[in-house]
């Protein structure tokens, strides 16, 4: 009997939760543009506004602050390119959608360094804020997608506010995995995405607190209070709303994943694995772990042959593995960085998945040791 595939790449995207699939199917059987004034359109509008309220409730915000987007990348671009600021300050470990948008903005960009555990240097951030008089937009992610390291965003918000700057937080990886409030209470902009937590791909949100001006990326319609033109993705928004309900009640899930992640790391560490960022607070589902002497690509391919999906560093749109700017910023030695994979758990993970991943990793480790021993002989 063939073993079922093991999916341990939830930080890339998570399988669709049944509740999200059911909510989307119900909407796909319906019709209505939320901007239409007839009954069909107004029914769709009520659904969209209901999910808008759910997202606002999560962040103790107003539904008027919620801008639906096509995902986290668009939300990040919308704020990095559209917020009213003369300069940008971003961490060196941000997602490429933040770093790329910052570079494309044409504005001065300062990179906040991180320590060897992947935590941002708060003192350096404060120095950057004080160095110039122009208003800054600071973008610091809540939790890193590669290492899982959690940033002190409440303290970041305090320092940014004291300096009269704006604060944007990409909370895509944090939502549903750790509590995001009250840490984000004073953030001016917050990015969220559905598909990392078991919702559909192609839908996300930018929460814009207060009356901050935001130049739109898309023009030609008054949707989202003129901040994002285009007909809303009603089925996707319905699925987003369904998973928000699930993740708000997922304390047991987080506890279970943390225990399995800790067991996996303890076992692999005892066999020579090296956990990246082990000394910092991390997401309960994420492990960046190196197998010294064995390339990341080799590990990913070998595990894939065993039916186990993990990732190696950051993958670009072509699917090729690229050098991790996150590990580079953490000053992880090249040899170790080149042997690091990311194992990320999620709602569909079970204990058998963890056992099979451990067994496959250990078997690969033993094979490579044996091969090196034969080569040395």
In the chain, what are the domains? 6-14+251-370 (3.90.1150.10), 18-247 (3.40.640.10)
**Residue 111 above 90 pLDDT?**
yes
Tokens 């589902």 sit on residue: 285
- Give pLDDT, residue 64: 96
316 is catalytic: yes
Q: What angle do CA 79, 220, 104 make, to 5 degrees?
A: 35
Beta-bridge partner residues of 9: 344
Q: Which whole number is the average pLDDT over 151-171?
A: 98
Confidence of residue 318 (pLDDT cuts 50, 70, 90): very low
Handedness of CA 152, 156, 157, 162 (dihedral sign): positive
- Give pLDDT, residue 369: 85
**313 vs 296: CA distance, rounded Å:** 8
Collapse the DSSP code of 167 into the 3-class scheme (helix H, G, I; strand E, B; otherwise coil) and give the result: strand
316, 319, 373, 374: the active-site residue: 316
Q: Which whole number is the average pLDDT over 106-133?
A: 97
Confidence of residue 3 (pLDDT cuts 50, 70, 90): confident
Average pLDDT along the chain: 94
Q: How many other β-carbons are positioned within 10 Å of the β-carbon of residue 279?
A: 12
- Give pLDDT, residue 227: 96
Percent of the chain with pLDDT over 70: 95
- Give pLDDT, residue 1: 47
CA atoms within 13 A on the CB side of 11: 28
pTM: 0.95
- H/E stretch holding 111 reads strand 109-112
Between 218 and 374, the higher pLDDT residue: 218
Listed in sequence order, the residues at least 6 apart from 43 whose beta carbon sits closer than 8 Å to its beta carbon are 30, 32
Q: What is the pLDDT of residues 36-72, one digit of tens each?
A: 999 999 999 999 999 999 999 999 999 999 999 999 9
Collapse the DSSP code of 344 into the 3-class scheme (helix H, G, I; strand E, B; otherwise coil) and give the result: strand
| H-helix segments, 7-165 | 18-28, 39-58, 72-82, 96-104, 122-131, 153-162
- Give pLDDT, residue 180: 94
Q: Alpha carbon of 236 to those of 15, 19, 120, 246, 363: distances in Å?
A: 14, 12, 34, 16, 41
- Give pLDDT, residue 2: 60
Confidence of residue 247 (pLDDT cuts 50, 70, 90): confident
Q: Alpha carbon of 370 to those of 5, 129, 299, 356, 365: distances in Å?
A: 27, 53, 16, 21, 9
Let me know if 215 is exposed, middle or buried by CB neighbors in 10 A (0-12, 13-18, 19+): exposed
**133 vs 284: CA distance, rounded Å:** 39
- H/E stretch holding 369 reads helix 351-376
**311 vs 11: CA distance, rounded Å:** 9
Q: What is the pLDDT of residues 266-288, one digit of tens each?
A: 999 999 999 999 999 999 999 99
Collapse the DSSP code of 148 into the 3-class scheme (helix H, G, I; strand E, B; otherwise coil) and give the result: coil
């Amino acid at each position: 009997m063939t073993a079922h595939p093991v999916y341990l790449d939830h930080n890339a995207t998570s399988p669709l939760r049944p509740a999200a699939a059911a909510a989307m199917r119900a909407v796909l059987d319906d019709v209505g543009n939320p901007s239409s004034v007839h009954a069909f359109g107004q029914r769709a509008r009520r659904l969209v506004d209901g999910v808008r309220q759910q997202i606002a409730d999560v962040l103790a915000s107003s539904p008027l602050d919620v801008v639906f987007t096509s995902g986290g990348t668009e939300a990040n671009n919308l704020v990095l390119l559209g917020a009213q600021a003369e300069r940008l300050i971003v961490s060196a470990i941000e997602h490429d959608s933040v770093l790329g948008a910052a570079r494309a903005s044409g504005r001065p960009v300062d990179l906040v360094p991180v320590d060897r555990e992947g935590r941002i240097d708060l003192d350096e951030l404060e120095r950057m804020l004080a160095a110039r008089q122009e208003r800054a937009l600071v973008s610091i992610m809540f939790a890193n997608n590669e290492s899982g390291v959690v940033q002190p965003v409440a303290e970041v918000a305090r320092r940014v506010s004291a300096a009269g700057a704006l604060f944007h937080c990409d909370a895509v990886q944090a939502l549903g995995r750790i509590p995001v409030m009250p840490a984000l209470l004073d953030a001016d902009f917050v990015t969220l995405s559905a598909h990392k937590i078991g919702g559909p791909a192609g839908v996300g949100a930018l929460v814009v607190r207060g009356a901050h001006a935001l130049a739109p990326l898309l023009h030609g319609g008054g949707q989202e209070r003129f901040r994002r033109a285009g007909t809303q993705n009603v089925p996707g928004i319905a699925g987003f709303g369904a998973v928000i309900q699930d993740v708000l009640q997922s304390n047991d899930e987080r506890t279970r994943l943390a225990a399995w992640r800790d067991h996996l790391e303890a076992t692999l560490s005892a066999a020579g694995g090296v956990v990246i960022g082990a000394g910092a607070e991390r997401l309960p589902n994420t492990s960046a772990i190196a197998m010294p002497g064995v390339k990341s690509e080799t590990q990913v391919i070998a595990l894939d042959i065993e039916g186990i999906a993990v990732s190696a560093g950051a993958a670009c749109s072509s699917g090729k593995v690229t050098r991790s700017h996150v590990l580079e910023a953490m000053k992880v030695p090249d040899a170790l960085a080149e042997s690091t994979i990311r194992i990320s758990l999620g709602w569909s993970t079970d204990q058998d998945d963890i056992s099979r991943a451990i067994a496959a990793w250990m078997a690969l480790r033993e094979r490579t040791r044996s091969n090196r021993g034969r080569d040395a002989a």
